[in-house]
Amino acid sequence: MKISEEKKYEHLSPFELKNKLIEMSQVHQERMMLNAGRGNPNWVATTPRHGFFQFGLFALSESQRNPHRPELGGAPESEGIAKRFQEFIKNNSGVEGIDFLSKAFGYVCDNLKIDADEFICEIVDAILGDHYPTPDRMLTHSETIVHKYIEQEMCDNNPPEGKFDLFSTEGGTAAMDYIFTSLIENKLLHKGDKIALGTPIFTPYIEIPHLNDYEFVELKIEQDENSDWQYSDKEIEKLADPSVKAFFLVNPSNPTSVSMQQATLDKIAELVKTRRKDLILLTDDVYGTFVNGFRSLAAVAPYNTILVYSYSKYFGATGWRLGVIGIHEDNVFDKKIAALPKEDRDQLYERYSTVILDPNKMKLIDRMVADSRSVALHHTAGLSTPQQVLMVFFSLYCLVDTKGEYKKQAQDIIIKRFKTLYDALGVAGPDNQYDAHYYTTIDIPTLAATRYNKEFSSYLVKTFEPIDFVVRLAEEKSIVLMDGGGFDAPNMSVRVSLANLDDQAYDKIGKGVSGLLEEYYKHWQSSKG
């Protein structure tokens, strides 16, 4: 690709640039393309899925107890349904997924104290999908179970007092869309407001604020590459500025895949308790389950935080679109709405007056549900009920796994690939207890300085376009990686997904990156001669 073309492509999102790189890498049909550009995991959590499909068979048998016609079942009946489920478990002992269903059922009844008939009837009806989601925000017992999972995985089993209200959504991306919409609609943010972004960050979070819908002014809160991608106290202190209305971050971060250390969490929590009680915190914690002892901002600063979590990466379920928004029952958002000027409150009263008798008492999270269907279609809001059942089964799978065996297995996959990649690169990988290892960011100029010298590193930066390395990697090695600069990571850095390729591919990627850097070095030496 010519320099003039590279300049044009640098304006694209790295996700769009990736499509061009894939096209280029496929020119050489004699080489197998290795695409470590996207974060879709190549594993699938099978046990909860076995349980899901076995439970679906039970649900169908319940529907057929009172059929309308030979092939038209009826709605399930709650009376005695738990006993019939236990009979189903007994009669199918030894079938894959049944043991999990038995343990999950026991946990729900014994640990969560949920009525057995009510629980089974709710999820039988849900997996059949024969009614609109009711309540529309999230099914009642499903919310209780997912809440317990959130406490375990996002709060390290040490949640704040009170509870979170949850809204199940079509993945984390839909959650973000609903949140941005409702923050604007409810006058919590306005066009032209200054918002802080924890960078490097998932590219859409850089792009969304520039859209005509928002026109936010961005302030970067930058991670320090030389301090294991942590936020310094100086960067966090930027949030003390009262003109900063919100702080959006991904934790653990994307592309650097590192979570915030406890000291930083505590500093932000102290800031919003004292000097910035009005600050909005929005945290996307999809990778939190890959860090032992992970704690979300929602665990330490629940009053100010909107939590987004997605099941997609941990369970290999990107196609299912399973996400959840969590807002603590005691929060700054509802209080800020109540304190709006009368004119604004009157407008909001009118907006939501068709869905509730007294819109003034409507929580922000319930406003999100209405906004997700443009208010007028509120009666059809809510995540598909079969999706909610799988979300529940994923949650229960980890809740009954008291030894954390699934977590160990999922983490082991990506840690092994991480080590394979860096062994092939010939350098030691970052050693950081806060590293999720889901992605890794390789700073090519820094690698050049370490392996060769600073003069060569400077030559790379000054001579080539920032995307030249990923372009040549695709063209010459058929290896597709993400351009780190598109995430506000250092220019000419690359993001490698450690989730979506077989283990041995990372040896080839490491050697490909290393070999290409060697070619740049030889070109530099020859140009000097």
Query: What's the pLDDT at 7?
Result: 64
Q: What are phi and psi of 204, to 5 degrees?
A: -55, -30
Residue 400 located in a structural domain: no
- Same-domain check for residues 227 and 268: yes
Instruction: Tell me which residue range forms the domain holding 51.
Output: 46-128
In a domain, 394, yes or no: no
Q: Could you tell me if 421 and 292 lie in one domain?
A: no
The verdict on 268 and 378 lying in the same domain is yes
Domains of the chain: total: 3
Region 12-34: mean pLDDT is 65
In whole angstroms, give the CA distance from residue 117 to residue 506. 49
What mean pLDDT is reported for the chain? 94
CATH number where 489 lies: 3.90.1150.10
- Domain identity same for 241 and 305: yes
As a whole number of angstroms, the distance between CA 322 and CA 317 comes to 8
Question: What is the percentage of the chain residues whose pLDDT exceeds 70?
Answer: 95
Give 108-141 pLDDT, tens digit per residue: 999 999 999 999 999 999 999 999 999 999 999 9
457 in the same domain as 326: no
**Same domain for 226 and 121:** no
Q: Specify if 347 maps to a domain.
A: yes
Give the C-alpha distances (Å, rounded to integers) separating 294 from 104, 248, 304: 24, 18, 19
In this prediction, residues 301-309 reach a mean pLDDT of: 98
Q: Which of 77, 98, 128 is the last residue of a domain?
A: 128
Residue 232 is given by DSSP the state P
Does residue 134 lie in a domain region? no
Q: At 229, is the secondary structure helix, strand, or coil?
A: coil
Residues 120, 179 within the same domain: no
Please determine, for residue 507, whether its predicted confidence score (pLDDT) is greater than 50.
Answer: yes
Among candidate residues 333, 357, 385, the one where a domain is terminated? 385
Residue 395 falls within a domain, yes or no?
no
What is the predicted pLDDT for the residue at 39? 86
pLDDT digits (tens, 9 = 90+) for 333-387: 999 999 999 999 999 999 999 999 999 999 999 999 999 999 999 999 999 999 9
Instruction: Work out the percent of the chain whose per-residue pLDDT is above 90.
Output: 87
Q: Report the C-alpha gap between 224 and 493 in whole angstroms.
A: 14
Q: What is the mean pLDDT of residues 398-410?
A: 97
Q: Domain for residue 136, yes or no?
A: no
Whether the per-residue pLDDT at 9 is higher than 70: the answer is no
311 closest CA partner among 285, 337, 329, 338 = 285
Would the pLDDT of 18 be above 60? yes
Indicate the burial class of 212 (C-beta count within 10 angstroms; 0-12, 13-18, 19 or more): exposed
What pLDDT score was predicted for residue 20? Answer: 73
Residue pair 460/444 in contact by the 8 Å Cβ criterion: yes
- Residue 521 makes CB contacts below 8 A (sequence gap 6+) with 448, 452, 456
Q: 208 or 305, which is more confident? A: 305
Long-range contacts of 424-431 (CB under 8 A, 24+ apart): 424/506, 424/507, 424/508, 424/509, 424/510, 424/511, 424/514, 425/510, 425/513, 425/514, 426/451, 426/510, 426/514, 427/451, 430/228
Alpha-carbon separation of residue 325 from 53, 185, 309, 348, 375 (angstroms): 26, 17, 7, 22, 18
Same domain, yes or no: 449 and 485: yes
Spatial neighbors of 214 by CB under 8 A, at least 6 apart, are: 180, 184, 189, 191, 208
Distance, in Å, from the CA atom of 221 to the CA atom of 100, rounded to the nearest integer, reads: 44
> For the chain, percent helix, then strand, then coil, each to nearest 5?
50, 15, 35
Q: Indicate whether 391 belongs to any domain.
A: no
In this structure, are 411 and 265 located in the same domain? no
Confidence (pLDDT) at 1: 55
Q: What is the pLDDT at residue 419?
A: 97
pLDDT of residue 30: 45
Reported confidence tier of residue 8, pLDDT bands at 50, 70, 90: low
CATH number at residue 294: 3.40.640.10
Give a yes or no: residue 397 inside a domain.
Answer: no
Claim to verify: residue 312 and residue 411 sit in the same structural domain: no
Domain CATH number, residue 122: 1.10.20.110
Residues 224 and 167 placed together within one structural domain of the fold: yes
- pLDDT tens string 179-219: 999 999 999 999 999 999 999 998 888 888 888 889 999 99
pLDDT at residue 15 is higher than 90: no
**Residue 409 pLDDT grade (very low, low, confident, very high; cuts 50, 70, 90):** very high
Q: Are 208 and 316 members of one domain?
A: yes
Q: How confident is the model at residue 488 (pLDDT cuts 50, 70, 90)?
A: confident
